[in-house]
Every structure is written in C-alpha cells, then in structure tokens.
C-alpha cells in the first residue's frame, strides 16, 4: 500500500510539474502548447487527474502508516473496477492502447492487495 501510494503521489506531482513528461512516460504522444487549439483540454485533464493521483497517493500512504485494513479491503473492488473501465475504454476505442498499462497496474494491484490481506488474515488467526 505504501509503495503504491508513493508511486501514485510521485506520478501526481510529475503531472502537475511536467505534464508532457507524464504523458510521455505513459507512452502517449504530446503536442507543443503552440500546437494546441482552444478546445484542447489535455493540460486541464492532466492537471485534474494528477491532483487526484497526488491525493490518492497520500491517502494510501496514510492508510499504510496506520495499518487501516478496512481501507485496504475497500480498494480491491474499486481497483478491479478501474482495471475494467480502462481496459474497456481501450477495447471500445475511447482510449489509446497505452491505457492498458493503467488497467494492468490497477488489476495487479487489486490482486496483490487481496492476496496480502488473505495472507495477513491467516497469519492473524494462527
């Protein structure tokens, strides 16, 4: 949880400070500001999603520091939902193939969290 939180917060900061670097790290093409039209809201979208990632990252770190297992359990279905939405967005041609990486990250994170919770539950009962 803490690792995911730190990574999410770092990506959020990266998107706020250097949005084109964030897009490039995700395998998405970037356009120079001079090439953007007034109707191009890419920068606004990256800013909003980066702020959300920063906040979410801090939540995860704080939850990890306080060993808030209920929060960990809640993340599993919602991360699976996020995996499904991003994957379907690519399949439905609403998002570029690079978003499959986001879906995979969320899906693998959900599985890893569920596995860790199950392992910890067994250890606690023993």
pLDDT at 68: 93
**Residues 98 and 46 grouped into a single domain:** no
**Residues 61 and 3 grouped into a single domain:** yes
**Residues 58 and 73 grouped into a single domain:** no
pLDDT digits (tens, 9 = 90+) for 64-98: 999 999 999 999 999 999 999 999 999 999 999 98
Domain count for the chain, please give it.
Answer: 2
Average pLDDT, the chain: 91
Contacts of 121 (CB under 8 A, 6+ apart): none
pLDDT at 31 over 80: no
Question: In the chain, what percentage of residues exceed pLDDT 90?
Answer: 67
Q: Is there a contact between 53 and 12 (Cβ–Cβ < 8 Å)? A: yes
Length in residues, the chain = 126
The boundaries of the domain holding residue 3 are 1-23+41-67
d(CA 73, CA 56): 15
**Residues 73 and 112 grouped into a single domain:** yes
Q: Is there a contact between 10 and 53 (Cβ–Cβ < 8 Å)? A: no
Instruction: Give the CB-side neighbour count of residue 46, counting CA atoms within 13 A.
Output: 21
pLDDT digits (tens, 9 = 90+) for 4-26: 999 999 999 999 999 989 988 88
pLDDT at 42: 82
Is 121 a member of any domain? yes
pTM value is 0.80
From the CA atom positions of the chain, what is the Rg in Å?
17
């Amino acid at each position: 949880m803490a690792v995911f939180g730190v990574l999410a917060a770092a990506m959020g900061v990266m998107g706020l400070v250097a949005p084109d670097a964030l897009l490039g790290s995700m395998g998405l093409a970037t356009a120079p500001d001079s090439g953007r039209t007034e109707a191009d809201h890419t920068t606004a979208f990256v800013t909003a999603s980066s702020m959300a990632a920063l906040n979410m990252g801090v939540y995860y770190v704080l939850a990890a520091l306080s060993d808030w297992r209920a929060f960990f359990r809640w993340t599993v279905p919602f991360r699976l939902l996020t995996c499904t939405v991003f994957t379907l967005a690519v399949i439905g041609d609403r998002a570029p193939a690079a978003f499959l990486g986001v879906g995979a990250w969320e899906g693998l994170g959900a599985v890893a969290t569920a596995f860790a919770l199950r392992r910890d539950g067994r250890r606690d009962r023993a």
